[in-house]
Amino acid sequence: MLNGVKMKKFIQIIGAGVLTLSLAACGEETSKQEASDQEETNQSEETSQEATTRTLTDAMGNEIEVPINPERVIATYLEDNLVALGIKPVAQWSVNDGASIQGYLQNDLNGIPTIPHDLPFEAVQEMNPDLIIMDSASMVEGGKYEQYSKIAPTYVIGTEVNNDWRDELIRVGQVFGKEKEAQQALDQYDEKAAQAKETISSEVGNPSVAAVWLVGGKFFMVSENLSSGAVMYGDLGLEVPAVVKEISASATGNWSEISLEKLVELDAEHLFLINSEASSSATLSEALWKSIPAVKAGNVHEFSPDESWLYTGTIANEQIIENILKSIVK
């Protein structure tokens, strides 16, 4: 049996042992917590690093590391899509040293510097982009893709010279992680087109129409299934004149040259004229022009090249629909 002194010492030893065990347990728990915190920190840092880019495959099969939030984008001739998605590019498409730009977008692109439509490497480099988006594969032929990729990640939207504008918008939306916004823009456009088609049908039936562009003293006719032709004949279901079908059969682009003599055969009730002449063209005073059926009937509706008729996209096409309604529905 333990005497009082030994009992006291025994209790002290037991207490010290318990304390030591407690401290050891606390130390182990602290180490575990610190290790857990460190692991979470590492995971957070890894997630943060991974979130700076996404790997996407473009129309040419290239895998591109695309920035999650690009701040300096060049997407020449795709600005309609950018604006529709609330994105401002660092430079905008132009021709003739900025003399020709997409006038219909200037409320949103005003003040943004221009860049030549063919995107010279030096001009692109000066803009210091963090993402380049190309409209078609033809823009990066002959080793150009490699050159642009050295400047910034380069994503090609489509393989055709004239890609479907709806598909272009969806693809641009995917690049920026704005797929929902792109689809919403398309849905709004389709609704607008359907309403306009119903209005035209109920007010004036189904008139035949055509669009021609006067520039440099020459006329060009829009193709049946491209640009404003796709809006007039596809989305609004307006009647396609025989001359438009004939010209479209051999067309290689959005607009095809047509002689004034051939325009005289144009059996359209309404003619939309995009006039790029700096002053009143003598061509419009010629007897042949005045003998065109729509001209004789007083149904020529004239627009400037700053309107959206020469372009395509959600915004451009909505403006074309508005112009058509104002012109033929009284």
pLDDT tens, 269-316?
A: 999 999 998 666 788 989 999 999 999 999 999 999 999 999 999 999
Tell me where in the chain the CATH 3.40.50.1980 domain(s) lie.
53-177, 183-328
Over its C-alpha atoms, the chain yields an Rg (Å, rounded) of 32
Sole residue written with tokens 């304390």: 19
Please check whether residue 129 is in contact with residue 153, taking contact to mean a CB–CB distance below 8 angstroms: no
Please say whether the beta carbons of 255 and 221 come within 8 A. Answer: yes
Please give the average per-residue pLDDT across 209-236, as a whole number.
Answer: 96
Q: Does 3.40.50.1980 match the CATH number of domain 53-177?
A: yes
pLDDT over threshold 60, residue 103 = yes
| Right CATH for 183-328 from 3.40.1350.10, 3.40.718.10, 2.40.50.140, 3.40.50.1980 | 3.40.50.1980
Alpha helices in 221-279 (DSSP H): 227-229, 242-249, 260-263
- The percent of residues above 70 in pLDDT, for the chain, comes to 84
Q: Report the mean per-residue pLDDT for the chain.
A: 88
Q: Position of tokens 């520039």?
A: 215
pLDDT tens for residues 45-100? 544 455 699 999 999 999 999 999 999 999 999 999 999 999 999 999 999 988 89
pLDDT in tens, 46-58: 444 556 999 999 9
pTM value surpassing 0.85? no
